[in-house]
A = this chain, B = another copy of it.
Amino acid sequence: MSRNQTIALDAMGGDFGPEVVVPAAHLALKELGQGSLHFIFYGDEHKINVHLKKNPELEAVSTVHHTDKVISSSEKPSVALRTGRDSSMRLAIEAVKNGEADGIVSAGNTGALMATAKMLLKCMPGIHRPAIASVFPTKQGKTIMLDLGANITCDSEILVQFAVLGAVYARAVGGTPNPSVGLLNVGSENMKGHDQVRAAAAVLSSVDFPGKFYGFVEGNDIPMGTVDVVVTDGFTGNIALKVAEGVGGLMGGYLKEALHSSPLAKLGGLLAFRALKQVKERMDARFYNGGMFLGLNGICVKSHGGMDAFGFSRAILVAANLVDNGYNERVAHEIEQLMSQESFFSGLDSRSSEDS
């Protein structure tokens, strides 16, 4: 891949700011090779430069845009919109809007990032709402799930659009030529669930879109990797994501405790150390870091606020991959294709009457 991209980085976001964001950019650059990436850092010039000076190769491909203003992690999105002018986050997003950067990555306040990105970048033509999407480890490999929290309620049309956003990702970036798409529900039968998922299923069964519709999937199908793309509303998706993280943490804690419970268990844990480390790595959230804001006129990726440099570097790579594979151009094409189909609109018509 011949990249020559510019990534805008909100250097002040997350729990650690430039201390993590600058070394993360260096790791991403090492991963893709010199000349692949350029960076514009937004934030406290002095703090950024302290870390930039340590990496001459990075410094050579970086620009620093100074600002004192930072949106705090506790700021309400509405307040961030009103008062966030000149903040590191807003300036970084503006760089994408103005064409100075190809994508933006921030570990800042999720609500503020989404609100600002929506306001500045706006939804792509034909897309009603952006979704937050992320990739998860499964028994089969990887699955992309969306929405993870941007939209508390979603009508069937929005769910269908999310299916397209997810399928295009799986095909263009995930390398799955004909991705399977499942709608998250409480059972696999047609009659299950609320009106919105049933109407979305009816539409997805009848339209051509860049994947194949599998039908309904249940909560356990996410970790099993039954489908390549799991589509759900942001309320359910956010809770599913956090339950998965929580159960992973609980089991990890149980295991650690057990392997310290006796000298024999300790010895066993020591002998199996490498194997256990592999398990830990397979579940390591850092490898899957990078919540993609899909459906906007611009690539925007959210890093988890508590990530270290390695974790943040993965979010940068997620953004770089979306840019490099022309994700947004492909979505534009597929949404146009979708909207040219009569079965899309007739399906939605029947949905409207069911929903009301």
Question: Which A residues lie at the B interface, using CB under 8 A?
Answer: 76, 137-139, 149, 152-153, 184, 186, 191, 193-194, 218-224, 232, 234-236, 238-255, 258-259, 261-262, 264-265, 267-276, 278-279, 282-283
Residue contact B245 to A219, C-beta cutoff 8 Å: yes
Chain B residue nearest in CB terms to A225 = B250
Report the bound CA distance from A224 to B139 in whole Å: 24
Chain B residue nearest in CB terms to A220 = B246
A190 CB → nearest B CB, Å? 11
Residue contact B272 to A152, C-beta cutoff 8 Å: no
Report B-chain residues with C-beta under 8 Å of the C-beta of A149: 186
A234 CB → nearest B CB, Å? 7
Residue contact A235 to B265, C-beta cutoff 8 Å: no
Overall SS of chain A's interface: helix
Residue contact B152 to A186, C-beta cutoff 8 Å: yes
Chain B residue nearest in CB terms to A257 = B279
Q: Do A282 and B268 contact each other (CB < 8 Å), given the known contacts A247-B223, A259-B275?
A: no
**26 contacting pairs across A/B (C-beta < 8 A):** A149-B186, A186-B238, A219-B242, A219-B244, A222-B246, A223-B243, A223-B246, A223-B247, A223-B250, A224-B246, A224-B249, A224-B250, A236-B239, A240-B243, A243-B243, A248-B251, A251-B279, A255-B276, A255-B279, A258-B276, A258-B278, A258-B279, A259-B275, A264-B272, A265-B271, A265-B274
Report B-chain residues with C-beta under 8 Å of the C-beta of A268: 267-273, 275
Report B-chain residues with C-beta under 8 Å of the C-beta of A271: 264-265, 267-268, 271
A317 CB → nearest B CB, Å? 24
Residue contact A239 to B218, C-beta cutoff 8 Å: yes
Q: Do A278 and B261 contact each other (CB < 8 Å), given the known contacts A194-B235, A268-B271?
A: yes
Chain B residue nearest in CB terms to A239 = B219
Report B-chain residues with C-beta under 8 Å of the C-beta of A251: 247-248, 251-252, 279, 283
Residue contact B258 to A265, C-beta cutoff 8 Å: no
Report B-chain residues with C-beta under 8 Å of the C-beta of A245: 219-220
* Most central of A139, A241, A276 by chain B CB within 10 Å: A276
Residue contact A262 to B275, C-beta cutoff 8 Å: yes
Report B-chain residues with C-beta under 8 Å of the C-beta of A267: 268, 271-272
Residue contact A153 to B264, C-beta cutoff 8 Å: no
Chain B residue nearest in CB terms to A255 = B279
Residue contact B246 to A248, C-beta cutoff 8 Å: no
Report the bound CA distance from A269 to B268 in whole Å: 6
* Most central of A137, A138, A221, A268 by chain B CB within 10 Å: A268
Residue contact B272 to A265, C-beta cutoff 8 Å: yes
* Most central of A219, A240, A243, A262 by chain B CB within 10 Å: A243
Report the bound CA distance from A241 to B225 in whole Å: 17
